[in-house]
């Protein structure tokens, strides 16, 4: 733990214990949110190799290090009698259990909700699954699966070419909704003294994301077009190519901004054109408006155009690659990136939760700190067993028998 983190006032969820049975993204995201907010999140990993997410390559290579900071690792044989006994003692001390394995997997090992509730009636048990209750609930789901069947891929790609979003949006948001449900259940426990079972669904999260398009159809009676072919709600809401083949997104979403825009770019004839006076008219006049703006913006470099738009308070966004964000001045100066040591010993900076506590008057004040880097396999097993009352000799015996893996 860093000296800075140690000097911080107690975090909102300090004192809350969470036992996490999870892998990949959805379950670990839920634990990440709770851990960043101060909960003691204990990640249960299989022995001897730990969470398989650690060994993913390609697009999955960053999953483990991104979604497992501020957690403790307990690598244990959940099928052995000794391992089960230790885990049950740990769960007896917990406020929350989370899991995102296939339906029935934990129940078969005696770690399902009903079995644990009988031991600990105050326990909040959260399952993160592909689907909530219904005809689909036993299907296997992935982020891409629910994007395809839930309309998001259709809306993202051009007609005839459904395209998944460029991030694990449902997994991440599904984990966030699970954390919200857990916090609500804890609040209810304060009033009733009883825990409960809560569940978050990947498919249902995707449906929530496309709800605005469902509502558009309900209001207009017209099927929404995929985003590349959509009729924009605003006259100027587009990506433009500037010098050196760079790209900048520019938006003008009000009549006040239209006046400012025309003055800023010395376009008095466009502002004087009564057929472009309102946003609705500009939407109708896009065919003749866009070529004029494209020619105007082509005279600028990306930094020049960005600076001018920012100076006049107009919405804009230079197109940025993920790897360029490590050097983003706002993220670096505002505490938005957390420097951490990865399990292989390398050092990087990764995004913190996008929230802030306190008055926010000082740069970085109120951002949630890094308390622990992503753990090595079994890094905290010895400490956890000691907390549960195991002697040094008993811990050594469990390690020798392969029941637990302790970090070297």
Q: 65 and 168: one domain?
A: yes
pLDDT of residue 233: 84
- pLDDT digits over 120-147, tens only? 999 999 999 999 999 999 999 999 999 9
Q: Are residues 69 and 159 in the same domain?
A: yes
pTM for the predicted model, two decimal places: 0.93
Quote the percentage of the chain above a pLDDT of 90. Answer: 90
- Residue 220 domain flag: no
pLDDT band at 360 (very low <50, low <70, confident <90, very high): low
Residues 43 and 177 in one domain: yes
Is residue 352 a part of any domain in this protein? Answer: yes
Are 13 and 81 contained in the same domain?
A: yes
Q: How confident is the model at residue 344 (pLDDT cuts 50, 70, 90)?
A: confident
Q: Are 272 and 369 within one domain? A: no
Establish if 223 belongs to a structural domain: no
pLDDT, position 382: 98
The answer to whether position 256 is within a domain reads yes
Q: Are residues 138 and 278 in the same domain?
A: no
Would you please indicate which residues are annotated as catalytic (active-site) residues? 171
H/E stretch holding 350 reads: strand 347-351
Final residue of a domain: which of 269, 298, 322? 322
DSSP string, 21-84: E--TTHHHHHHHHHHHTT-EEEEEE-TTT--GGGG--GGGTTHHHHH-TTEEEEEE-TTSHHHH
Does residue 6 carry a pLDDT above 60?
no
Whether 200 is covered by a domain: the verdict is: yes
- Residue 306 domain boundaries: 232-322
Which helix (H) or strand (E) segment is 386 a member of?
helix 381-387
Report d(CA 386, CA 396) in Å as an integer: 11
15 and 143 inside one domain: yes
The DSSP element (H or E) to which 128 belongs, if any, is strand 124-129
Last residue of a domain, one of 291, 322, 353: 322
Name the band, by pLDDT with cuts 50, 70 and 90, for residue 229.
confident
Residues 311 and 355 in one domain: no
Rounded CA separation 26/44 (Å): 15
State mean pLDDT over 14-43.
Answer: 98
Helix axes 169-192, 202-209, angle to 10 degrees: 110
Judgement on whether residues 81 and 190 belong to the same structural domain of the protein: yes
Residues 343, 317, single domain; the answer is no
Mean pLDDT of the chain: 94
Mean pLDDT of 181-204: 98
Provide the angle, in degrees to the nearest 10, between the axes of the packed helices 302-311 and 255-264.
130
Q: Are residues 276 and 205 in the same domain?
A: no
Question: Residue range 351-368: average pLDDT?
Answer: 80
Interval 380-408 mean pLDDT: 96
Question: In the chain, how many domains are there?
Answer: 2
User: What CATH number corresponds to the domain at position 47?
Assistant: 3.40.50.10540
Whether 303 and 344 share a structural domain: no
What CATH number is associated with residue 316?
3.30.1540.10
Q: How confident is the model at residue 9 (pLDDT cuts 50, 70, 90)?
A: low
Q: What is the pLDDT of residues 66-125, one digit of tens each?
A: 999 999 999 999 999 999 999 999 999 999 999 999 888 999 999 999 999 999 999 999
Q: Determine which of 2-6, 258-262, 346-350 has the lowest per-residue pLDDT on average.
A: 2-6
């Amino acid at each position: 733990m860093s000296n800075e983190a140690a000097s911080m006032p107690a975090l909102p969820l300090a004192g809350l214990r969470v036992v996490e049975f999870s892998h990949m993204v959805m379950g670990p995201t839920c634990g990440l949110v709770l851990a960043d907010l101060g909960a003691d999140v204990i990640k249960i990993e299989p022995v001897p190799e730990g969470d398989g997410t650690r060994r993913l390559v390609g697009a999955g290579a960053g999953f483990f290090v991104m979604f497992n900071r501020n957690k403790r690792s307990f690598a244990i044989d959940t099928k052995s009698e000794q391992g089960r006994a230790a885990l049950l003692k740990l769960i007896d001390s917990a406020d929350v259990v989370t899991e995102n394995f296939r339906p029935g997997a934990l129940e078969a090992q005696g770690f399902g909700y009903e079995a644990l509730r009988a031991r600990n009636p105050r326990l909040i048990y959260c399952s993160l699954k592909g689907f909530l209750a219904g005809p689909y609930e036993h299907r296997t789901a992935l982020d891409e699966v629910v994007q395809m069947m839930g309309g998001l891929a259709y809306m993202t790609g051009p007609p005839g070419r459904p395209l998944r979003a460029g991030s694990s949006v449902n997994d991440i948001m599904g984990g966030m909704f699970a954390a919200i449900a857990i916090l609500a259940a804890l609040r209810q426990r304060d009033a009733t003294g009883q825990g409960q079972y809560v569940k978050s669904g990947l498919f249902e999260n995707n449906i929530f994301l496309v709800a605005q398009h469902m509502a558009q159809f309900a209001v207009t009676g017209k099927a929404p077009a995929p985003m590349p072919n959509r009729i924009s709600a605003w006259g100027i809401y587009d990506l433009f190519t500037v010098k050196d083949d760079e790209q900048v997104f520019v938006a003008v979403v009000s009549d006040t901004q239209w006046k400012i825009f025309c003055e800023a770019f010395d376009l008095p004839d466009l502002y004087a054109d009564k057929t472009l006076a309102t946003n609705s008219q500009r939407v109708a006049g896009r065919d003749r408006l866009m070529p004029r703006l494209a020619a105007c913006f082509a005279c600028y470099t990306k930094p020049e155009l960005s600076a001018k738009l920012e100076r006049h308070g107009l919405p804009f966004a230079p197109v940025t690659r993920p790897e360029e964000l490590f050097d983003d001045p706002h993220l670096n100066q505002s505490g938005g990136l957390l420097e951490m040591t990865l399990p292989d010993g390398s050092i990087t900076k990764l995004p913190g939760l996008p929230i802030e506590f306190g008055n926010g008057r000082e740069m970085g004040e109120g951002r949630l700190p890094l308390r622990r880097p992503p753990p090595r396999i079994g890094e905290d097993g010895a400490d956890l067993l000691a907390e549960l009352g195991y002697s040094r000799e008993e811990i050594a015996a469990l390690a020798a028998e392969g029941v637990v893996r302790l970090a070297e």
